[in-house]
Amino acid sequence: MGTTIDPNFSKYHVIDINDPIYQSLRNTDAKYKLNYLSIPITLKISVPLNKYSLYAKGGGYVSYLLYGKSYEKTKTYNYTRNLNFEEEQIKRLDLGIIFGMGVTRELGPGFLFLDARYMLGLSDLNNSSNIYSVPFGIQKVHNRGLFLNAGYMFRLGKAK
């Protein structure tokens, strides 16, 4: 999961656009990689079609931020650092919704499956109310993720 952060410098009330600090920030490409432990809770509705089965699912998830890194790149340097969540004012708990669909096909003793789902974070991960705070300012920051899964499921018991 992740988000795209687009610094909106019009909110910063810059007095001198030629200021070297402003120019260095403006020309910096920053990315944040955040690693979560997520627990999804979904309801799945299936429609059997001969050896195939189509399904839709929906529900929610709870995620906890375990680890994060910042990658900053300019014309003159690359910089990587571990994030300090209190210092960066990033909330660690995220709640959101999940919806998706997929298909399964009986194959041998199990099922072949193809699945797609989208997770949309409802929690604002930015804990700052300061317009000048790094990295987010006062922007709302939400997780989102698109997941594609393909695999094979084995039957563990007898089919009825």
pLDDT, mean of residues 60-86: 82
Q: pLDDT tens, 115-139?
A: 999 999 999 888 776 655 555 566 7
Strand partners, 94: 63
* Between 128 and 7, residue with greater pLDDT: 128
User: Measured on CA atoms in the order 91, 97, 102, 107, is the torsion positive or negative?
Assistant: positive
pLDDT, mean of residues 40-55: 94
Q: pLDDT tens, 13-33?
A: 556 667 666 666 666 677 778
| DSSP SS3 for 13 | coil
Tell me the pTM.
0.69
| DSSP SS3 for 134 | coil
To the nearest whole number, what is the mean pLDDT of the chain?
81
Confidence of residue 96 (pLDDT cuts 50, 70, 90): very high
Residue 125 contacts residue 94 (beta carbons within 8 Å): yes
